[in-house]
Structure 1
């Protein structure tokens, strides 16, 4: 049986988004907006913390990560690692100053500053599409 973090989205119930953002104010804003949209949110202050959550077999339906964060890896490294270890998991990478060449290699890049409602809509659309494909 697949572990929770390794299995595809589960049917029914609220979807869970892992938000990795070191700016507490921005993390709170996006987490609150996702919760208001009916999502469960797990907050992480770094890519390392995000990997700890995923390694704990907690089911996650999508990840939103900042690029520049403290720790041993940044959001780009996190996205690359997740693409290998959790290829089914939608990952959204946000940054205000990422090289366009690098941004173009990411599965879903969101330029900062971003419209929080637009980001929530993007995540909901992708997660709902994944559910419909089950």
Structure 2
């Protein structure tokens, strides 16, 4: 009887189960693949977003530096500690200025003496 296939119902049930199992396996595989693809896509998107953010940050930093330099150049002299913008003169500069003043005074005195001598000579003649 078995040779003739006495239990065709059981056989078909087994085949159906096999097919069902195969289908489920395929579905599972497909789902897994889809999930993996989605994950990969998400990762790629995140990576490109980070890259863009880094570029933006770098550009912003560069621009900020440039703007600071420009602002520094534009800024009027002086700040809270020294509102007039004039820095206190150094000792060396003071000494140089004094020497220059002394030289100028000496030159003026020489010129005055020469003028007096010329006047005396003019009076004598």
TM-score (norm 2): 0.17
Which structure features the higher share of helix residues?
A: 2
> Looking at CA atoms only, which structure, 1 or 2, has the larger radius of gyration?
2
Higher RCO (CA 8 Å, separation ≥ 6 residues): 1
Which structure features the higher share of strand residues?
A: 1
